[in-house]
Amino acid sequence: MREITVAVVQMKPVLGEPEDNLVKMSEFVSTIASQQRVDLIVFPELATSGYELGVRFTEIAQRVPGPTINLMAQRANEHGVYIAFGLVTKEKVESILYNSAVMVGPDGDLIDVYNKVHLRGEERMAFREGFKLPVLETEIGAIGLMLGWDLAFPEVARSLALDGAELLCVMANWEADNIDEWRTYLRARAYENTLFIAGANRVGEDVTMTFGGESMVVGPRGQVYASLTDEVDPDTGKPLEGYSVARIDLDEVRRHREQFQILQSRQPSVYRSIVKKY
């Protein structure tokens, strides 16, 4: 058995205040790690900044590695965990920004960075699209990183699965009005690719948007191992900040793939239309 413990964090970033958000993230890491042995903690998309910043993204974007990544790598080292989180990054050319996901490891090192491929709406005005889907080979397993709207495209999860991913970390800013999509996509991608998914979605409001939470860990047969679906304010019905922890066995990925033959039964020569531009 290859059992690991995964935590998904559902937080409300303070818009445009990365220092405050890093303090909150550090507190979540300390609280989670002090209550149980945990191997991986997943935060939402753009956890350090909030979503509706527009041109202000330029002010807080950081290079990779940079101060924010170094700080979270220090927290990962202090508690002996892997941490995945979303932030805005930049190239040496100041005007090139990415909506990125980063993983840091228990040795205090940067494992890898992923730049979001599928930008939605106003994101296209702020960020450049990424063009790689890395699979991170870690001591706890092979992990893929996804951001927000990437989840709506089955090609992303399938590509990562074919490249060996056993666990997908999905960091999102999924809106409350569309939260049924979020639930459905998480389970569908897990079923389709016979793997685990740790989905961390933010809560709260920015300028015009309200976010829906319902962070969860889903197994290779669509079973929900842990969820924050019921974490809501009794007065307003809005989702609350919090975290949820699940113990999972990555050997189930191989067992279920051998049993159901989903990947093995593919017929790639029939799927040519998938790679055509619409």
- DSSP string of 137-202? EETTEEEEEEEGGGGG-HHHHHHHHHTT-SEEEEEE--BGGGHHHHHHHHHHHHHHHT-EEEEEE-
DSSP string, 98-112: EEEEEEE-TTS-EEE
At 235 the pLDDT is 87
Helix (H) or strand (E) holding 6: strand 3-10
Scanning the structure block, which residue is given the tokens 């639930």? 183
One digit per residue, the tens of pLDDT, for the chain of length 278 reads: 899 999 999 999 999 999 999 999 999 999 999 999 999 999 999 999 999 999 999 999 999 999 999 999 999 999 999 999 999 999 877 789 999 999 999 999 999 999 999 999 999 999 999 999 999 999 999 999 999 999 999 999 999 999 999 999 999 999 999 999 999 999 999 999 999 999 999 999 999 999 999 999 999 999 999 999 988 899 888 999 999 999 999 999 999 999 999 999 999 999 999 888 87
Q: Kindly state whether residue 277 falls inside one of the protein's structural domains.
A: no
Rg for the chain (alpha carbons), in Å? 18
| Domain of residue 194, CATH code | 3.60.110.10
By DSSP bridging, strand 224-227 and strand 216-218 are: antiparallel
Q: With beta carbons less than 8 A apart as the criterion, state whether 250 and 141 touch.
A: yes
CA distances 84 to 1, 7, 54, 56, 168, Å, are 24, 10, 24, 23, 11
Give first-to-last CA distance, the chain, whole Å.
43
CA–CA separation, 157 vs 75, rounded Å? 29
> Domain residues for 196?
3-268
Q: Kindly state whether residue 140 falls inside one of the protein's structural domains.
A: yes
At 95 the pLDDT is 82
Please list the alpha-helical segments (H only) found in the chain.
18-35, 57-60, 67-79, 123-126, 154-162, 179-193, 251-260
At 92 the pLDDT is 78
Q: Kindly state whether residue 276 falls inside one of the protein's structural domains.
A: no
The domain tally of the chain equals 1
Query: How many residues are listed for the chain in this entry?
Result: 278
Token digits for 275? 């790679």
At 239 the pLDDT is 94
Q: Kindly state whether residue 252 falls inside one of the protein's structural domains.
A: yes
pTM over 0.95: yes
